[in-house]
Amino acid sequence: MAIPTASPASAAVPGAALTGKIKDRTARVGVIGLGYVGLPLAVEFARAGFAVTGIDSDKQKVESIQQGRCYVEDVDGDLLDSLVRDGHLKATSEYAVIEQLDTINLCVPTPLRKTKDPDMSYVVAASEAAALHLHPEMLVILESTTYPGTTQELILPLLERGGLREGRDFFLCFSPERVDPGNPRYHTRNIPKVVGGISAQSTEIAVLFYSQAIDKVIPVSSAEVAEMVKLLENTFRMINIGLANEMALLCDRMGINVWEVIDAASTKPFGFMPFYPGPGLGGHCIPIDPFYLSWKSKQAGAEARFIELAGQINGQMPMFVADKVQAALNDRSKPVKGSRVHLIGVAYKRNVEDTRESPALDIMALLEKRGAQVSYTDPHVPQLRRDGGCLTSQPLEEAAARADCVVVVTDHTDINYAGLVEAANLIVDARNALKGFVSPNIVRL
């Protein structure tokens, strides 16, 4: 394939043609990765009037979008259907379409390996696909959470190996996704967007681009700053949740109600921000992102001690919950082995369908290892596929009445907690979902 060269117009004024297309909304927008981050972003730009093409190797997702069917809870299904029907949004699994696009957002997974180091295979694959079809006057933005330096050290060389140069022929930025699934107040459009480019021109063009569909855009001085912003945000939450979990462990040993302690501390009008303990961390961000920073710190010869310690504390919470269940059953003269334990909620957080890294999965495995018969209820997760097969969500009150112990793992708001308290013989509440209920059958975290 011949090495692409910049057009005379773009050579004279880099980014001029692209800027004009963004301003009049004729720029053809592409999003690689149509999951919880990519699909809402694609919908927002399509709603703003751009022609958007979503690219995903999962052909089921592509087919769903082509048929106007939504598979992400936070996206309005009727809106998606109308955007597909009027031609503003389409999907494909063919990466060659990138040649026809003016912008590309990379919204692919960035998991951790078992050794707690970053798995960049999805980012590399998406970047190589973009590089293969890169052309002059194109904007590429990485949104996948990663370690500081990824955009500069990993993505830039891949894109420049064909002969085009950043800041002259194409433009490269990092803008961290800030999706909060299940949040009724904040969504893609009204969460401020941080943007940092490899060059100042790239930052300027990306700010203009996002401003067409996002309410507020915040430029920073570099891609590294933008990358670190996301890690600080999630590390802040992870460490403070770790502190709350450690307080729960300490209060349990001392016979103190940790929830009452936090509520009382929250009355202080300054210098305190409440975080709450729970059965463990889940989702695609908080349990994973801080370890990107920890890994990068080691590369720089430094130790991220708070991150490592908080990770250890948070990681032991599923075991703590399993121990709570065992102790509660023992108090009823019942062994865990052979007991029927029913979990309320298997999603990683309230009011979402996402089970990635959910502590419920660890709690299930720990209880099953001790011989318990485990079932669950979750209105957002009708079926749960695991290595050992597939479980189906059970009707709440019937299952609770049959169980020897019920464990509230995820505090969905559409659970009938009054009916649960009335039906269940024993409840271990790991989320304080039963605050206000008084019953000798309730054991709190």
Domain with residue 401: its CATH number is: 3.40.50.720
User: Please, what sign has the CA dihedral across residues 72, 75, 81, 85?
Assistant: negative
Measured at the alpha carbon of residue 408, what is the angle toward residues 403 and 410, in degrees to the nearest 5?
135
279 with 344, same domain: the answer is no
Encoding tokens for residue 39? 């699909």
**3-state SS string over 57-84?**
CCHHHHHHHHCCCCCCCCCCHHHHHHHH
Residue 185 falls inside a structural domain: yes
User: Please, what sign has the CA dihedral across residues 181, 378, 315, 107?
Assistant: negative
Residue 430 falls inside a structural domain: yes
Contact 26, 49 (CB under 8 A): no
70 a catalytic residue = no
- Crossing angle for the helix pair 200-211 and 16-23, nearest 10 degrees? 10
Residue 2 falls inside a structural domain: no
What does the alpha-carbon distance between residue 89 and residue 70 come to, in Å, rounded to a whole number? 12
* Residues contacting 321, CB < 8 A, separation 6+: 279, 280, 359, 363, 407, 409, 428, 430, 445
Domain boundary among 195, 221, 247: 221
DSSP 393: P
Contact 187, 40 (CB under 8 A): yes
369 with 309, same domain: the answer is no
Domain boundary among 287, 315, 343: 315
Low-confidence ranges of the chain (pLDDT < 70): 1-12
Contact 357, 284 (CB under 8 A): yes
302 with 327, same domain: the answer is no
Residue 10 confidence (pLDDT): 41
What does the alpha-carbon distance between residue 130 and residue 123 come to, in Å, rounded to a whole number? 10
Residue 134 falls inside a structural domain: yes
185 with 171, same domain: the answer is yes
Task: Spot the catalytic one: 107, 173, 251, 285.
Answer: 285
134 with 98, same domain: the answer is yes
What does the alpha-carbon distance between residue 5 and residue 136 come to, in Å, rounded to a whole number? 7
195 with 243, same domain: the answer is no
Encoding tokens for residue 204? 């300027």
Residue 180 confidence (pLDDT): 86
292 phi and psi angles, rounded to 5 deg: -65, -45
Contact 306, 234 (CB under 8 A): no
Residue 130 falls inside a structural domain: yes
Residue 251 falls inside a structural domain: yes
Residue 1 confidence (pLDDT): 44
Q: How many domains does the chain have?
A: 3
138 with 212, same domain: the answer is yes
190 with 326, same domain: the answer is no
Residue 61 falls inside a structural domain: yes
158 with 278, same domain: the answer is no
Expressed as residue numbers, the domain containing 375 is 317-445
Instruction: Tell me the whole-structure pTM to 2 decimals.
Output: 0.88
Domain boundary among 262, 293, 315: 315
338 with 414, same domain: the answer is yes
252 with 110, same domain: the answer is no
Residue 399 falls inside a structural domain: yes
